[in-house]
Amino acid sequence: MIDLRSDTITRPTQEMLDAMMRAKVGDDVFGEDETVNKFQDKVAGLFGMEAGLYVPSGTMSNQLGVKVLTEPGDEILIDEKGHIFNYETGAASVLSGVQVRTLPGKNGKLNTTLLEHTKRGHFDWEPRTRVISLENTTNKGGGVCYTKEELREIKTFADAENLLVHLDGARIWNAITETEIEPEFFGEIADTISVCFSKGLGAPVGSMLLSSKERIAKARRYRKMWGGGMRQVGLLAAAADYALENNWAKLKDDHRRAKEVGQVIFDSKFLAVDMNTLQTNILLFDTVKEPAEKVIEKLHQKGIQMIPFGPNTIRATFHFEITDEDVKVVKQALAEIGDA
């Protein structure tokens, strides 16, 4: 099977497993795992942030970000396609007692025109708007990246309105690959950043929250409270470090392959794609003649897996287990389906 359902399905390679076996570990709840400690410092440094906290998942990392930036009763602003709003089981309202207010952005991105006049909290009866939550790249938005100018504008707006910024950078590696924005810039615009090593980078587990020393110390307590304190977790951090060092450079091939397949869809009669929004490894396309489920079934019969993303929308996500040979097969299958 050619599995394009997600970039989370990759399995650790032998080299990654070897790196894990070499890791020097200790009890991380005591703060004594040297692999974790070094890795946290390294990633925080990369983004120009003071500190990092290695956690089991992007969901935990996002939720810790929300937790350390807010008080119960606060409101966070997010695009309606945002992961925190759609795919984190309502955790922000349960764990942080905040209200998540969605805005209708474009391809999962917010902008200052939308954000204008959204801040509330002048009166006792209003929620207090506290955080602007961004996602880069946007998952449900089709892997789209923010430009530097867009981010700078949002940061200027946030500062003027005294709002904080959380960045869900589950796929920030893809965004950096595509836009060539230097990592430190993200550290300048965001108060908390969540990055994942288990998406396109291919580690089996792990994400990291980046922020100030004070906020990370607070997040560390909540990670323990939420059951995320781990012991000899350097084994996993070593896999994440290996992924960062060796697999980040491969993302450009994922982007190229997604665009190659996108072109076949663009050229077909019964499938449609917006090539302007096809920027990274996530390919969202529409079915014109028949429901998405039907096209997915046909692809499945040809040995290809994709997932529905709406009644007429399909998502294909590229990752390092997909080869150029696989791409040829996928292009052929889509050409047949798209013109039949």
Ligand X SMILES: Cc1ncc(COP(=O)(O)O)c(C=O)c1O
Residues lying near ligand X in the complex (CB under 6 A): 57-59, 62, 83, 135, 139, 168, 170, 196, 198, 207
Euclidean distance between CA atoms 315 and 269, whole angstroms: 18
HEC-encoded secondary structure of 93-115: HHHCCCEEEEECCECCECCHHHH
- Both tokens of 58, joined, read 């992007």
Read off φ and ψ for residue 233, nearest 5 degrees. -85, 0
Residue placing its CB nearer to ligand X in the complex, 139 or 179: 139
Tell me whether residue 282 or residue 304 sits nearer to ligand X (CB atom): 282
Nearest-approach distance from CB 309 to ligand X, in angstroms: 12
| Closest among 294, 300, 227 to 57, alpha carbons compared | 227
Cis peptide upstream of residue 137 (ω within 30 degrees of 0) = yes
When the beta carbons of 230 and 271 are compared against ligand X, the nearer one is: 230
- In sign, the C-alpha dihedral spanning 260, 262, 267, 271 is positive
Are 208 and 58 in contact, with CB atoms under 8 Å apart?
A: no
CB of 169 to ligand X, least distance (A): 8
User: Is 59 or 192 the residue whose CB approaches ligand X more closely?
Assistant: 59
Q: Which residue is at the shortest CB distance from ligand X?
A: 58
| CB closer to ligand X, 83 vs 109 | 83
Length of the chain: 340
Cβ distance to ligand X smaller for residue 20 or 193:
193
Task: Tell the residue number behind the tokens 């930036």, with chain if given.
Answer: 69
The least CB distance from residue 231 to ligand X, in Å, is: 20
Residue 142: CB minimum distance to ligand X, A: 12
Task: Compute how many other C-beta atoms are within 10 angstroms of the C-beta atom of residue 159.
Answer: 12
Q: Nearest distance from residue 166's CB to ligand X, in Å?
A: 11
Residue 56: CB minimum distance to ligand X, A = 8
Q: Tell me whether residue 129 or residue 198 sits nearer to ligand X (CB atom).
A: 198
| Choice between 75 and 135, CB closer to ligand X | 135
Nearest distance from C-beta of residue 137 to ligand X, angstroms: 8
DSSP designation for 144: B
Q: How far is the CB of 288 from ligand X (least distance, A)?
A: 27
What are the DSSP calls for 186-215, one per residue? HHHH-SEEEEESSSTT--SS-EEEEE-HHH
- Give the integer Cα–Cα distance in Å for 167 and 235: 27
Biggest CA-to-CA distance, the chain: 62
Q: How far is the CB of 188 from ligand X (least distance, A)?
A: 21
Residue nearer to ligand X on the CB measure, 83 or 130:
83
How would you label 90-101 residue by residue, b for 16+ Cβ within 10 Å and e otherwise? ebbeebbebbbb
CB-CB contact of 130 with 74 (8 Å): yes
